[in-house]
Amino acid sequence: MSIQEEMYKAIETEIDKTVEAGKEKVIVNNDKAKKVARMLTELSVSKSDADSLVNDYISRIKNICKS
């Protein structure tokens, strides 16, 4: 499975958890959404980085969403 697929699954899981917990928001913060999009487009695709990247990027996305 490619790193992109792993990242998508991790993001999809976080989205599902957010919706299940009733913490989803209807309003989108454009600046935060753009930060996440930029971060994901800069994602390394080295297979050796896969495990650490998944955890790192989920953590960074959570921090962006909390600020």
For residue range 35-59, list pLDDT tens digits in order.
Answer: 777 777 666 666 666 677 777 778 8
Query: Does the CA dihedral 41-44-47-50 come out positive or negative?
Result: negative
Res 67 pLDDT > 70: no
Distance from C-alpha of 65 to C-alpha of 42, rounded to nearest angstrom: 18
Q: What is the pLDDT of residue 29?
A: 76
The residue that leads in pLDDT, 44 or 31, is 31
Task: Quote the tokens at residue 37.
Answer: 């999009």
Amino acid code (one letter) for 1: M
Q: What is the pLDDT of residue 1?
A: 61
Q: What is the pLDDT of residue 6?
A: 78
